[in-house]
């Protein structure tokens, strides 16, 4: 049987819905006559996979580049193929990113960075992955590059804009960057930054300062000092002054606020709490939201911001104590000295 | 037994400015007591000392008298007996807290010393004076923060003076221990003592609050069981 006859039988079988038989016959045809355009055309509709269909179409176009119908069909197939590949990559990228985020939450930064990088190889426009790298990378240049990518992908994300601004601030202020790493309990990385700074600086005073920081952090590491988050320290220290104020107010009210109430002394308590909080905030280095909201800053509060915060804190702490003092003096003015009992 | 010095160095600060200031202020006020107030001490003490029945009836200076009472002393021995331990125990507590929080803790310990004294001897019209309540607070805090510390202490063994370095725990336990029996006698038998034993215990127990006053690094060291 000639290949033309086999082709005719294949076409009849295909039209009769006998796809497997038709495909086998067509494969026989192209094996004997690889430049049979008609056979390849029919095959492009009968093979199973998208890739095989595309190969069949490409063969048709190699034989007859003017076959516009097949060219159009191939373009459709290629679009479908790209879309499938992208969906597959996207799913893999999402899976890798989720793993990266889980590792980041467990402070396993290296693995998190590697997985986030793999996610980006699958999907370059993965904003969250860039953002994650920008947040956890110990290298400030890598942070900035990643955040810039994330920002370019979505300029309306205020969180990315803020993180990028902060990263640029820390690059321009490496001492703050080292202090920030220490705040986060990343002593090794803080030491690396300090050591780099010590190697670069030519100012002997600055070198002394950096050297002291290095010695201090090495001491903390050597003695295995537990890391305490700045927010915990601020919360703890906030209690100090209100506790004193409450004790003094209690003395003023004869240890019985119900029998001898002085209402405005109670009103002073929230002021002392707020003042004590501001004093703690000014003392403990922390990337606290107050610095961003009130002072539009990226770091731990400039010297000026810390000074203003501390001054406000002192003012708020002192005012209720002055009221307490005035109340005491007023009572002393009306006080009749009792006679000596002995 | 008289504590003379804590031989360990400071960790965070160079000079204990607030401790020294408190000692100077106490001495200056004692000078005023002796040379300005003189014989007319009763009205002065009534106004500026912590007298239980006056505090409880919300008469007199209240909070102000509670604070001023911490700076009044009944004699030179009383003053010296308080200022030496203030120096010995205060220096490193101030180092661990910073000067202002140290002052706040000192005043808090003195206040809680008065609170316990007033609650136990509520009907007393005898004014309580002296820094000892606050200083017992410092001793308690010292015990919490520096349990392994050693204190150069003057002791007399059959009239012979010796000044060994004794573990702080023994010095503090000695001073707290000698308060307990008199304090029980005051509570149960209304015994009359010229020493304010309940104020000492009140100050000592208030030492637990020191943890709220520590610098962040000192607190981290405390939690890490390392020398503060």
* Residue A254: per-residue pLDDT: 92
Q: What pairs with residue B165 in β-bridges?
A: B152
Average pLDDT over residues B123-151: 93
In a domain, B215, yes or no: yes
* H or E element, residue A109: helix A109-122
* Residue B199: per-residue pLDDT: 95
Whether the pLDDT of residue B216 is over 90: the answer is yes
- Residue contact B62–A331, C-beta within 8 A: yes
Whether the pLDDT of residue A309 is over 70: the answer is yes
Whether the pLDDT of residue A94 is over 80: the answer is yes
* CA pair distance A31, A293, nearest whole angstrom: 74
Interface test mutation site (partner B, options A243, A245, A278, A330, max chain B beta carbons within 10 A):
A243
**Which of A141-145, A291-295, B138-142, B171-175 comes out lowest in average pLDDT?**
A291-295
Whether the pLDDT of residue B19 is over 90: the answer is yes
Q: What pairs with residue B3 in β-bridges?
A: B153
Q: Which residues of chain B lie closer than 8 angstroms to A329, CB-CB?
A: 61, 64
Option in B54, B66, B219 nearest A236 (CB): B219
Whether the pLDDT of residue B181 is over 70: the answer is yes
* CA pair distance A21, B129, nearest whole angstrom: 112
User: Among A241, A140, A234, A264, which residue's Cα sits nearest to residue A193?
Assistant: A140
Option in B47, B107, B220 nearest A225 (CB): B220
Whether the pLDDT of residue B1 is over 80: the answer is yes
Average pLDDT over residues A306-329: 96
* Residue A138: per-residue pLDDT: 82
User: Among A152, A182, A148, which residue's Cα sits nearest to residue A168?
Assistant: A148
Are the beta carbons of A147 and A160 closer than 8 angstroms? yes
Option in A233, A256, A335 nearest B60 (CB): A335
Interface test mutation site (partner A, options B66, B216, B227, max chain A beta carbons within 10 A):
B216
CATH number for the domain spanning B172: value is: 1.20.1540.10
Average pLDDT over residues A105-112: 90
* Structure tokens, A248: 């003094």
Positive or negative, the CA dihedral A274, A276, A282, A287 is: negative
Give the residue with greater pLDDT, B192 vs B183.
B183
- Cβ burial B83-122 (10 Å sphere, 16+ → b, else e): bbbbbbbbbbbbbbbbbbbbbbbbbbbbbbbbbbbbebbe
* CA pair distance B52, A274, nearest whole angstrom: 32
Dump the DSSP string for A238-305.
HTHHHHHHHHHHHHHTTT-TTTS--HHHHHHHHHHHHHHHHHHHHHS----HHHHHHH--SSS--HHH
State the smallest CA–CA distance between residue A106 and chain B in angstroms. 22
Q: Which residues of chain A lie closer than 8 angstroms to B126, CB-CB?
A: 341
- Residue contact A225–B42, C-beta within 8 A: no
**Residues A146-193: pLDDT tens digits?**
999 999 999 988 888 888 888 888 888 888 888 888 888 888 888 988
* Residue A342: per-residue pLDDT: 66
User: Among B204, B211, B130, which residue's Cα sits nearest to residue B172?
Assistant: B204
* Structure tokens, A170: 């820390």
* Residue B84: per-residue pLDDT: 95
State how many domains chain B has: 1
User: Among B207, B154, B214, B55, which residue's Cα sits nearest to residue A249?
Assistant: B55
Interface test mutation site (partner B, options A260, A266, A279, A335, max chain B beta carbons within 10 A):
A335
* CA pair distance B135, B79, nearest whole angstrom: 12
**Which of A214-228, B21-35, B186-200 comes out lowest in average pLDDT?**
B186-200
User: Among B113, B213, B144, B162, which residue's Cα sits nearest to residue A241?
Assistant: B213
Are the beta carbons of B205 and B112 closer than 8 angstroms? yes
B208 in A contact zone (CB under 8 Å): no
Q: Which residues of chain A lie closer than 8 angstroms to B216, CB-CB?
A: 228, 230, 233, 237, 284
Are the beta carbons of B151 and B171 closer than 8 angstroms? yes
What ipTM was assigned to the predicted interfaces of this complex? 0.94
Q: Which residues of chain A lie closer than 8 angstroms to B226, CB-CB?
A: 223-225
* CA pair distance A68, A271, nearest whole angstrom: 81
Percent of chain B with pLDDT over 90: 77
CA dihedral A110, A111, A115, A118 (to 10 degrees): 60
Segment 48-77 of chain B within 8 Å of chain A by CB: 54-67
- Residue contact A254–B213, C-beta within 8 A: no
Option in B47, B107, B119 nearest A332 (CB): B47
What band does A329 get if pLDDT is binned at 50, 70 and 90?
Answer: very high
Whether the pLDDT of residue B91 is over 90: the answer is yes
Chain B residue with CA closest to A328: the answer is: B61
Are the beta carbons of A137 and A113 closer than 8 angstroms? yes
Give the residue with greater pLDDT, A260 vs A282.
A282
**Residues A129-150: pLDDT tens digits?**
999 999 888 888 899 999 999 9
Maximum CA pair distance of chain A? 141
- Residue contact A247–B212, C-beta within 8 A: no
* CA pair distance A99, B160, nearest whole angstrom: 74
State the smallest CA–CA distance between residue B158 and chain A in angstroms. 38
Whether the pLDDT of residue B117 is over 70: the answer is yes
Chain A residue with CA closest to B209: the answer is: A240
CA dihedral A63, A65, A67, A73 (to 10 degrees): 100
Residue B155's domain comprises: 2-223
Helix/strand/coil for A337: coil
Mean of the per-residue pLDDT values of chain B: 93
The number of CA neighbours under 13 Å toward the Cβ of A5 is 2
Chain A residue with CA closest to B58: the answer is: A254
State the smallest CA–CA distance between residue B114 and chain A in angstroms. 9
Note the residue count of chain B.
228
What band does A233 get if pLDDT is binned at 50, 70 and 90?
Answer: very high
Q: What is the pTM of this model?
A: 0.77
May I ask the CATH class of domain A3-66?
mainly alpha
Option in A237, A248, A332 nearest B60 (CB): A332
CATH of domain A90-171: 1.25.40.10
- Residue contact B220–A228, C-beta within 8 A: yes
Average pLDDT over residues B158-173: 90
Whether the pLDDT of residue A341 is over 80: the answer is no
**Residues B48-78: pLDDT tens digits?**
999 999 999 999 899 999 999 999 999 999 9
**Cβ burial, residue A203 (10 Å; 0-12/13-18/19+):** exposed
Chain B residue with CA closest to A239: the answer is: B212
Report in angstroms the alpha-carbon separations of A319 from A267, A307, B99.
Answer: 11, 18, 20
């Amino acid at each position: 049987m000639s290949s033309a006859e086999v082709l005719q039988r294949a076409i009849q079988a295909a039209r009769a819905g006998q796809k497997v038989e038709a495909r086998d016959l067509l494969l026989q045809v192209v094996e004997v006559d690889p430049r049979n355009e008609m056979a390849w055309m029919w095959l492009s509709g009968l093979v199973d996979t998208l890739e095989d269909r595309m190969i069949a179409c490409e063969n048709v176009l190699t034989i007859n580049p003017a076959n516009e119908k097949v060219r159009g069909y191939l373009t459709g197939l290629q679009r479908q193929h790209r879309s499938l590949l992208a969906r597959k990559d996207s799913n893999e990228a999402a899976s890798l990113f989720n793993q990266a985020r889980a590792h980041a939450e467990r402070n396993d930064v290296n693995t998190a960075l590697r997985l986030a990088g793999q996610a980006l190889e699958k999907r370059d426009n993965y904003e969250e992955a860039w953002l994650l790298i920008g947040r956890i990378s110990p290298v400030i240049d890598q942070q900035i590059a990643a955040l810039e990518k994330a920002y370019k992908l979505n300029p309306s994300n205020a969180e990315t804009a803020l993180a990028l601004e902060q990263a640029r601030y820390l690059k321009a202020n490496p001492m703050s960057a080292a202090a920030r790493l220490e705040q986060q309990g990343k002593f090794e990385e803080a030491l690396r930054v300090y050591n780099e700074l010590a190697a670069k600086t030519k100012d002997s005073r600055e070198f002394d300062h950096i050297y002291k920081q290095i010695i201090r952090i090495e001491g903390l590491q050597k003695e295995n000092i537990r890391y305490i988050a700045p927010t915990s320290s601020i919360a703890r220290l906030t209690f100090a002054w209100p506790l004193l104020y409450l004790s003094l107010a209690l003395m003023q009210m004869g240890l019985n606020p119900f029998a001898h109430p002085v209402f405005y002394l109670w009103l002073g308590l929230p002021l002392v709490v707020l003042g004590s909080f501001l004093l703690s905030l000014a003392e403990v280095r922390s990337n606290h939201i107050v610095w961003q909201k009130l002072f539009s800053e990226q770091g731990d509060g400039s010297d000026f911001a810390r000074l203003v915060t501390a001054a406000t804190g002192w003012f708020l702490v002192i005012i209720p104590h002055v009221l307490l003092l005035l109340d005491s003096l007023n009572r002393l003015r009306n006080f009749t000295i009792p006679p000596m009992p002995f | 037994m008289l504590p003379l010095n804590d031989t360990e160095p400071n960790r965070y600060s160079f000079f204990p400015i607030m401790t020294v200031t408190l000692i100077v202020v106490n001495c200056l006020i004692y000078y005023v007591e002796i040379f300005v107030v003189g014989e007319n001490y009763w009205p002065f003490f009534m106004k500026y000392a912590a007298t239980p029945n006056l505090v409880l009836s919300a008469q007199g200076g209240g909070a102000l008298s509670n604070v001023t009472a911490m700076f009044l002393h009944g004699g030179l021995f009383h003053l010296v007996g308080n200022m030496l331990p203030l120096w010995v125990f205060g220096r490193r507590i101030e180092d661990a807290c910073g000067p202002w929080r140290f002052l706040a803790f000192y005043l808090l310990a003195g206040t809680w010393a008065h609170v316990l004294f007033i609650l136990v001897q509520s009907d007393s019209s005898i004014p309580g004076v002296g820094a000892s309540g606050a200083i017992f607070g410092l001793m308690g805090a010292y015990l919490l923060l520096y349990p392994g510390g050693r204190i150069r202490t003057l002791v007399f063994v059959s009239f012979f003076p010796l000044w060994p370095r004794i573990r702080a725990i023994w010095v503090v336990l000695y001073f707290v221990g000698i308060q307990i029996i008199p304090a029980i006698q005051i509570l149960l038998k209304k015994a009359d003592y010229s020493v304010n034993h309940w104020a000492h215990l009140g100050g000592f127990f208030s030492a637990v609050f020191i943890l709220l006053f520590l610098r962040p690094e000192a607190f981290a060291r405390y939690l890490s069981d390392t020398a503060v």
